[in-house]
Amino acid sequence: MQLYASNSQLLYMALLKAFGYETIKLSPISPTFFANVAKLLGIDIEFVDTKLDFSASATVVHNFFETFVPKSDIVFQNWGESVGEAKVFVKKSKGCLVAEFEDEEIYEKTKLFLAGGIKRGRLWNYDVVSLGIKDRAKPCSVDEDKIAKTNEVVAYFDEAFGGNIYFDTLKIGTKTLKTHYPILLKPSLYCPKEDIYQELQAKGVDVQVRFKPLYRMSLFQSQFLPVSEELYKAILLLPLEKNIIDPLFEVLQKYRHRGCSF
């Protein structure tokens, strides 16, 4: 069973309503809307620490790098094969968002929410039977060749980065579409991370930084979780472009001697 949607946050709201959660467990390096929408709906949030492969024992997880095999109620991932076990897989690519359901009841409740809570009758007759927000999404698809192309770049990076002294890499699977390649800086590069980011951007390398722990946000203040904090300091996301290797190592070499202490 599939549902298409135009907005991740709206679909997520529909799923939370369909499951009827009173409390959910979240990794603190989840997308901010995982916590924001839950709080909007009055759902209590418990943050659980993240593992070094980005996994967590959470109710809802995101697996955009395919670095772990999730087991959860809801899994957000990139387009491709379903990875792990879930009652709902939400798969996304640019301009395309689809939810795949194992549970018919959850499917029907989500579908009703995204229909604005409206049940249609004969001709122009209809009734509003529950809360909902209309989402007029059309079926979409992704060129499967894109997955093979991103896998080729990932394999190229795996070989090029092997044994380097600046950062660690993660084992990335091959079943889903990738948008970035994650690296974990060595602790000696944590302090100059902002300078590294700015210099790479200036050289045309569209490096990204995400996953500021949600417990650091004013709205979601919670206890410090050590692995999530470490990942926040270490993570950089590289664009999937083969020509970034030389400028990347040039910048990292420049800052490796600065050192860092906490």
- Backbone phi, then psi, for 137, in 5-degree steps? -95, 150
CA distance 248 to 196: 9
Q: Which domains does the chain have, with CATH numbers?
A: 2-128 (3.40.640.10), 145-255 (3.90.1150.10)
Q: What is the mean pLDDT of the chain?
A: 92
Share of the chain above pLDDT 90, in %: 79
- Decide if pLDDT at 94 tops 90: no
Q: What is the pLDDT of residues 26-36, one digit of tens each?
A: 999 999 999 99
CA distance 232 to 195: 16
CA distance 75 to 88: 6
Q: Angle formed by the axes of helices 32-40 and 8-19, to 10°?
A: 50
- Decide if pLDDT at 261 tops 60: no
Q: First-to-last CA distance in the chain? A: 50
From the CA atom positions of the chain, what is the Rg in Å? 20
Q: What is the pLDDT of residues 149-188, one digit of tens each?
A: 999 999 999 999 999 999 999 999 999 999 999 999 999 9
| Span 222-243, average pLDDT | 94
Q: What is the pLDDT of residues 28-76, one digit of tens each?
A: 999 999 999 999 999 999 999 999 999 999 999 999 899 999 999 999 9
Of the listed ranges 77-86, 96-105, 113-122, the least confidently predicted one is 113-122
Where would I find the beta strands (DSSP E) of 83-132? 88-93, 96-101, 118-120, 126-128
CA distance 100 to 74: 10
| Span 100-120, average pLDDT | 92
CA distance 63 to 83: 8
Q: What is the pLDDT of residues 113-159, one digit of tens each?
A: 998 888 887 888 877 778 889 888 889 888 778 999 999 999 999 99
Beta bridge partners of 236: 183
Question: Would you give the distance in Å from CA 78 to the centre of its chain?
Answer: 8
The runs of H, that is alpha helices, within 185-261 are: 193-202, 226-234, 245-255
